[in-house]
């Protein structure tokens, strides 16, 4: 049956590989990509080659105002019947900044805005448009473990604070440093898992939510805002690690993401999928008090943009 999957972060890296896999393996899919500015039309042309059905909406994920506009446009297309029923949302886009001082247009810290709030706003605004069975997949990261085993010490572990602190710039010590920027990243990925657990509790039956961990994937655009030395290392040196157990190649990570989106990897709602299998996330990531606190805060932070969003009850 023809259906629509909305996807962010499909233009490069594992998202691009996943998008190509989804279209090739699921010919009934209408892939609706969210992209910035004019890049969306080019992405549609490239992904649509060979007869695949692809369209786009424009949004800057750092700006919740444009996320709201994009979600409204998607809703309008669905309600008019311009695209088939909505069966999936893939929140794959993510960013890591070189500090914890970058402010998004709406005044929020940019890492938290892109990696947490943009996904939450999409989920809430599209919630009543999903046709069951549907699946929400949010790309997480094993940096949320904060140990050497999972990222070889390259990214500091999360430093959880009240969401009212995390949503503002300067939440971490020495906020002007790359270490603070990386801490903001790992903390945002912990937050993403917390919200997946809340979606599993609150969203209607038939809408599953899953967190996906691609592992350490060198050579993506994640660190595109880093300095020249870091960018060179990530693009030219680190890809060699994909040949070792410490990292995952883009091809493998993208195919695994497509498996989760398409349901090839079976995962009950609330699951954490580590590449190709359901696994446990960190011990810290199972905290109902933090999860509920973050849900309430995310609702508050996005309330100005989410008027009319469908209510969700906690089971």
Token representation of residue 249: 């190649």
> The whole model's pTM is what?
0.90
Q: Are 55 and 22 in contact (CB under 8 A)?
A: no
| The pLDDT value given to residue 240 | 47
Q: DSSP of the chain, one letter per residue?
A: --EEEEEES-SSHHHHHHHHHHHHH-TTEEEEEEESTTHHHHHHHHHTTTT-EEEEEE--TT-HHHHHHHHHHHHHHHHHTSSPPEEEEEE------SSS-PBPTTSSBHHHIIIIIHHHHHHHHHGGGEEEEEEEEEE--GGGG-SHHHHTTSSPPP----HHHHTSTT-SSSTTSHHHHHHHHHHHHHHHHHHHHHHHHHSPTTEEEEEEE----TTSSTTTTS-HHHHHIIIIIGGGGGGSTT---HHHHHHHHHHHHHTSS---TT-EEETTEEE---GGG--HHHHHHHHHHHHHHHTTT-TTPPP----
pLDDT digit of tens for each residue in the chain (315 aa)? Answer: 899 999 999 999 999 999 999 999 999 999 999 999 889 999 999 999 989 999 999 999 999 999 999 999 999 999 999 999 999 999 999 999 999 999 999 999 999 999 999 999 999 999 999 999 999 999 999 999 988 777 766 789 999 999 999 999 999 999 999 999 999 999 999 999 999 999 999 999 999 999 999 998 776 554 445 455 444 444 554 454 554 455 678 999 999 999 999 999 999 999 999 999 999 999 999 999 999 999 999 999 999 998 756 677 666
Distance CA 5, CA 66 (A): 19
Q: Which residue, among 174, 173, 182, has the nearest Cα to 155 in the 3D structure?
A: 182
């Amino acid at each position: 049956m023809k259906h629509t999957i909305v996807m962010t972060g499909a233009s490069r890296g594992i998202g691009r590989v996943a998008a190509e896999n989804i279209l090739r393996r699921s010919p009934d899919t209408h892939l609706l990509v969210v992209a910035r500015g004019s890049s969306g039309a080019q992405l549609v042309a490239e992904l649509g080659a060979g007869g695949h059905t692809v369209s786009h909406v424009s949004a800057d994920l750092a700006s919740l105002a444009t996320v709201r506009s994009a979600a409204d446009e998607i809703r309008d297309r669905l309600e008019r019947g311009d695209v088939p029923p909505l069966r999936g949302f893939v929140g794959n886009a993510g960013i890591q900044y070189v500090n914890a001082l970058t402010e998004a247009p709406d005044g929020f810290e940019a890492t938290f805005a892109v990696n947490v709030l943009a996904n939450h706003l999409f989920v809430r605004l599209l919630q009543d448009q999903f046709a069951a069975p549907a699946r929400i997949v949010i790309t997480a990261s094993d940096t949320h473990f904060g140990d050497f085993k999972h990222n070889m010490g390259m990214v500091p572990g999360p430093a959880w604070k009240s969401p009212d602190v995390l949503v503002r710039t300067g939440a971490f010590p020495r906020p002007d440093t790359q270490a603070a920027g990386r801490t903001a990243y790992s903390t945002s990925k912990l937050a993403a898992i917390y919200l997946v657990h809340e979606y599993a509790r609150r969203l209607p039956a038939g809408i599953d939510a899953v967190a996906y961990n691609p592992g350490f994937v060198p050579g993506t655009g994640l660190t595109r805002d880093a300095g020249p030395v870091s960018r060179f290392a990530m693009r030219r040196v680190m890809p060699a690690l994909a040949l070792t157990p410490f990292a995952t190649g883009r091809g493998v990570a993208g195919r695994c993401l497509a498996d989760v989106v398409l349901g090839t990897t079976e995962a009950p709602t609330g699951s954490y999928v580590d590449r190709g299998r359901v696994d446990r996330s960190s011990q810290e990531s199972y905290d109902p008090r933090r999860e509920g606190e973050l849900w309430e805060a995310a609702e508050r932070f996005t309330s100005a943009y989410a008027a009319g969003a469908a209510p969700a009850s906690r089971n």
